[in-house]
Amino acid sequence: MTDYRSIVITGASGGIGTELARAFAGPGVSLALIARDATRLEALAEDCRAAGAIVSVAGIDVRDRPALHAFLQAHDAEHPVDLLIANAGVTCGLGEGRSRESDGDAEWLAEVNYKGAVHTVSALVERMRARKNGRIVIMSSLAGMRGLPDMPSYSATKAALIAYGESLRGWLRRDRVGVTVICPGFVTSPMSARHMGAKPFEISAQKAARIIKRAAEKGRPFRAFPFPLALGIRLSKFLPAWASDLCYASMSADVERDPRSDL
């Protein structure tokens, strides 16, 4: 078990990110919390400080690579980061009447979910390599293990993160920098609330944060949960494509538009 003392969390203003910050907060722990909503970050920071943590916050969009790099590298100079959690993510579904995704939504998903994670990692990975220490956590999704018919681009970005994390793990192994890829299922959050359909085995954000924290501390290379849903996805890989598609058709859902997608 590794006891991390300097932790960065992107997408910290809600859902899993918020509960991860609370789970890691404690005496002697330095937290850097990043999200676009600086007001919500400050409220979270006060909770974490009350638990004994040293907290810095930044209202930065992970698409803004120069600003993100500047903040992370300045923070790392004072508190060398040993756990970097690329958690920021957004979701969109099909268009009205189950029409195709808009070009803007598809590009937004790619920019935030995939490129945002790359921007986060690239800010600090060479510093972690030089120190021969640390762990990077990449937040993917069960949708990255098997694409959902209602969320094509979301699923694609999460699949890209699995491949990215696997590649990082192989590259960084000799530098003693670990990589953990996380694939949650349905987690109660504002994002999940916009998913209008079945949400089998949905769990709380607090429980998800505990699972992710434990996976990072144990140095797990990959963690998918909840177990029944992750197992079902793995088993579906052995079905003919038509049978697999029928199974996932039964989970059809509409995804309400994320108001942030207009920003």
- CA-CA-CA-CA dihedral for 173, 174, 177, 178, to nearest 10: 20
Instruction: Give every strand in the sheet of 222-225, ordered side by side.
Output: 54-59, 30-35, 6-10, 83-86, 135-139, 178-184, 222-225
Residue by residue, DSSP assigns 17-29 as HHHHHHHH--TT-
4, 154, 164, 248: the active-site residue: 154
CA distance 18 to 71: 19
Q: Is 154 a catalytic residue?
A: yes
For residue 9, give Cα distances in angstroms to 12, 25, 255. 6, 12, 26
Residue type, 147: G
CA 165 to chain centre: 12
Which runs of E-coded beta strand occur in the chain?
Answer: 6-10, 30-35, 54-59, 83-86, 135-139, 178-184, 195-197, 222-225, 253-255
Cα–Cα nearest to 222, from 181, 173, 177, 185:
181
Residue type, 167: S
Show which residues are catalytic. Answer: 154
